[in-house]
Amino acid sequence: MNLNQLNYVITIAEEKNFSKASYKLYISQPSLSQSIQFLEKELGVKLFERKPFGLTPAGKVFVEWAKNVLSSEKEMSQKLSDIASNDLSSLTIGVSPYRCSYLLPNVISEFKKIYPNCKITLEEHPTDVLKSLLEEDKIDLLIDTPHPDDFVYTSISVLKEAILIGIPIEWEIDYKKTDTYPEIDLSLLKNKPFIMLTENQLIGKVGRKLCVQNGFVPDILLECHNIETLYSFIKKGMGASFIPELFAKAVECDKTMKCYKIKNSMPERDLAIVYSKNKYLPKAAKDFIKIFIKGLQIL
């Protein structure tokens, strides 16, 4: 038995298919099948049912154990890398696409001056996917809203982000000038179509609540899962939407959307760096956090 075989079993279990697993692992399906057969013979138990496909009871136990072993092996490698030098480190960061493009170029540029040989992998996905990757131990750091489970995860809040209302550039609406964004009465949009994130997402939930507080139920033309999709429909003039401030800053030079503060309301959310309390945090990750926080101070 070796670490490759442990990874093979975990990947097959995740993909629920030998062919898909072999593609992901960059090995041929016959080689993968043969390796699993050898492992099952060595263990004296079947790990997978072939028809229909699924994990056997022994397979479920083995997958859980294999994940723990590989996690321990990764942690040991990170500790030894920290002891030996900074040259052999790696870092996987989970972040939404718009936050990545707006927040990370300067941060990673500074980080690379200290860790020129550190391999950085960016996992760019919506929040629900990112939090699943964190819980599956597939990312080292998450840049997102704080994790609700503060027993298992550390969430370092780094800034508060306003939630704005974004409308198509061609829409005319009365507004009041302020020192930051112009301000509007949200009730002026009660007869306009909205593009909304789902109710399971914070901005989707806050947006619906704000509309009700302003005396109307939003006419939701389209519901989706990510900010980029919202923006694409706003640009087409199809509806208004609630937009996080960092995204507004990232696209403001495009002049394809107007963003406003909401009268009598200052909705906002925390942005945090999140990591597991139950795993070793490499020195490279600690230094990345310091550089990231410092970089936010000049935005």
Q: What average pLDDT does the chain have?
A: 87
- Number of domains making up the chain: 2
In a domain, 214, yes or no: yes
Average of pLDDT values for 181-206? 92
HSE of 19 in the Cβ direction (CA atoms, 13 Å)?
A: 1
Counts of helices then strands in the chain (DSSP H, E): 10, 12
In a domain, 120, yes or no: no
**Percent residues over pLDDT 70 in the chain:** 95
Contact 115, 102 (CB under 8 A): no
Q: Residue 255 maps to which CATH number?
A: 3.40.190.290
pLDDT at 85: 57
Q: How confident is the model at residue 277 (pLDDT cuts 50, 70, 90)?
A: confident
In a domain, 195, yes or no: yes
In a domain, 93, yes or no: no
Exposed/middle/buried for 1, CB within 10 Å: 0-12, 13-18, 19+?
exposed
What is the span of the domain harbouring residue 189? 159-269
pLDDT digits (tens, 9 = 90+) for 105-153: 999 999 999 888 888 999 998 888 898 899 888 899 999 989 888 888 9
Phi-psi region of 116 (alpha: psi -120 to 50; beta: other; left: phi over 0): alpha
As a whole number of angstroms, the distance between CA 60 and CA 9 comes to 10
**For residue 188, which of 215, 209, 163, 222 has the smallest C-alpha distance?**
215
Q: What is the pTM for the complete model shown?
A: 0.66
Q: Which two tokens stand for residue 214?
A: 């302003």
Q: 3-class DSSP state for residue 258? A: strand
Does residue 77 sit in the same domain as residue 171? no
As a whole number of angstroms, the distance between CA 199 and CA 28 comes to 43
